[in-house]
Structure 1
Amino acid sequence: MKYRSNQRLRWLVPAMLLSAPQLASAESLEDFQTWGNVTAVGSFGFIDPKFKSFRFWLEGQGRFGEDTSRLSQSMVRPALGYAINENASVWLGYAWIFTDRPFTGRRFDENRIWQQFLWTQKTALGTFTSRTRLEQRFAETGSDVGWRFRQFVKLSVPLDFAPDFSLVGWEEIFVRINKADWSGDDGFDQNRVFVGLGYNLNKEIRTEVGYMNQYIRRAEAPDRISHILSVNLFLNY
């Protein structure tokens, strides 16, 4: 059992690290940040069993930049969903985002409408998750609606020698579909890669803590690379 777990770790960590963007240049700006996230997902079955396929999503984030010295971004992201089966669900949600330095020179609020398809599957290696999301973004700094596509893939590999712990790796790619008057060029926007440890406190509560690398492409300013301590709490009801 220990040998099989070591084999999983042997390929997962290098794969995630090699997938991190290698686009840094002398002109890129780098920063150390700390991001905190709390996400609660559950079923409306507690109201009535006939509503068990209908889901809710409540998420809050705080992102601290400039060497974790200031609140640089905060987010509230609720949604309603429907479970197609035990593996797949579809979602429709809203998000409010406040953004400040170092992500922008002028602080602003952003509102989003978003849709996503979520797939979770148990595999021989661990739990695989795919999340495909489409966003319509409205910012007070411009009049255009910015459309953005996001693809997220994640693998959580349980540790045989410590059943409540798992090695977690994920990557998310962001692509701007159109060129809005406030969001820069269309095309590739950013990439995020995470490697860390997950811990199940019980069936409903899980934490994931680790390192995230965020690369942001900017058309009219130096690109950004952030080294992030990512702390996450997931509540599943």
Structure 2
Amino acid sequence: MFKKISTIILLSALGLSLSNPAAADATAEDFEVWGGIFSQGNFGFVNPQNPELKKFRWWMEGQGRFGNDATQFSQSLVRPGLGYAVTDKIVVWAGYAWAPTAEPLALKSGHPFNEHRIWEQITWADNFSFGRLSARSRFEQRFFDHNAPLPGANDVAHRFRQLVKLAVPLPQVNPNLSFIVQSELFIAMTTIDNNPGFISRGYDQNRAFVGLGYKINQYATVEMGYMNQFINRPHSRRPDQMMHNFVASLFLNF
């Protein structure tokens, strides 16, 4: 039991440390509130007599984020997708995302802007004696409108995201309760139109989350906790950003 607790604390500290820059010339901080619903399922309901249909998956999520000390709309996400289960642990996906964005990600002197994404990802999850470990590798092709901060002439960016998540059951407290720790690293793969002032190739951001999850029933789980988000802008006149986010999420699995 002591080893399990020590491992959890170590992973939490590691995740949070990865989200913080070793040094930054200027960092703007903000408190935000994020809420989201993440749902997925299979197409077995179309024909229950055909087990192959269960390998085909659907994905739909919606998020709302409120920044400037949670006083105004900052960003929302609508992300549909389709997938195929290669095994009972691995699923490949592809889809679209729409992300209308305002301050503090948009410039105060500018206007809200729209971002459209095409995304591809591989998800993996498995159960172990210590808990449930999952990972997600996602590629994104990002398209921006003319209101995006410091855009170039060709506003298309390619980004890689790697998420690792651990859920450790807490049966001593409640059989449906889990301790959650996760970290997601973002890597910008291109510099937009040779304009590093907007997006430059390399380390983009990290999101480290620590919280609790509660299994409501076989279909629904709610998670709440703290996320530390650091956005790196090494070649921009805009400062780096450090977000302190309260995050509440509902996960639905059908």
Fold in common (TM above 0.5): yes
Q: Secondary structure at the match of 2:175?
A: strand
What is the correspondence of 1:70-149 to structure 2 with a 5 Å cutoff? Answer: 70-105=72-107, 106-141=111-146, 142=151, 143-149=154-160
Q: Assess, with a 3 A threshold, how the Cα gap between structure 1 residues 122 and 100 changes in structure 2: closer, same or farther.
A: same
- The percent identity for this pair of structures is 43
Is the 1:8–1:157 Cα contact (8 Å) retained in structure 2? no
Mean alpha-carbon deviation: is it higher for 16-25 or for 87-96? 16-25
Q: After alignment, is 21-30 or 184-193 more displaced?
A: 21-30
Question: In the alignment, which of 124, 148, 151 is matched to residue 162 of structure 2?
Answer: 151
User: Is contact 2:123–2:135 with CA below 8 Å preserved after alignment?
Assistant: yes
Structure 1 ranges of 4+ moved more than 6 A: none
Q: CA deviation at 1:121?
A: 1.1
CA deviation profile, 1:157-188 (whole Å, cap 9, x unmatched): 00121210000000001111111147421111
Distance 1:174 1:121, change over 3 A: same
Distance 1:9 1:146, change over 3 A: closer
Distance 2:216 2:101 in 1: 32
CA separation in 1, counterparts of 2:32 and 2:17?
21
1:171 to 174, 179, 183: 183
Which residues in structure 2 correspond to 1:151-230 (within 5 Å)? 151-161=162-172, 162-181=174-193, 183-218=198-233, 219-220=235-236, 221-230=238-247
For the residue of structure 1 that corresponds to 2:15, the secondary structure is helix
Paired letter, 1:171: S
d(CA) in 1 for partners of 2:186, 2:8: 27
Deviation at 1:133, TM superposition (A): 0.3
Letter in 1 for 2:115: E
Distance 1:179 1:81 in 2: 29
Task: Map 1:6-25 to 2 at 5 A.
Answer: 6-23=5-22, 25=24
SS at match of 1:85: coil
Q: Distance in 2 between matches of 1:43 and 1:69?
A: 38
Residue 70 of structure 2: aligned partner: 68
Q: Tell me, in whole angstroms, the C-alpha distance in 1 between the residues paired with 2:84 and 2:90.
A: 9
- State the SS of the aligned residue for 2:114: strand
Distance 1:236 1:177, change over 3 A: same
| 1:228 Cα deviation after fit | 0.2
Tell me how far 1:10 sits from its aligned partner.
4.2
Alpha carbons 2:211, 2:224 under 8 Å: kept: yes
Alignment check: 8 A CA contact 2:220 2:252 kept? yes
Paired with 2:73 and 2:249, the residues of 1 have a C-alpha distance of: 17
What is the count of residue pairs matched by the alignment?
A: 236
Segment drifting more, 122-131 vs 203-212: 122-131
Q: Distance in 2 between matches of 1:81 and 1:121?
A: 18
In structure 2, runs of 5+ residues without a counterpart are none
Taking structure 2 as the reference length, the TM-score comes to 0.88
Tell me if the contact between 2:126 and 2:132 (Cα under 8 Å) persists in the aligned partners. Answer: yes
Say which SS state the counterpart of residue 13 (structure 1) adopts: helix
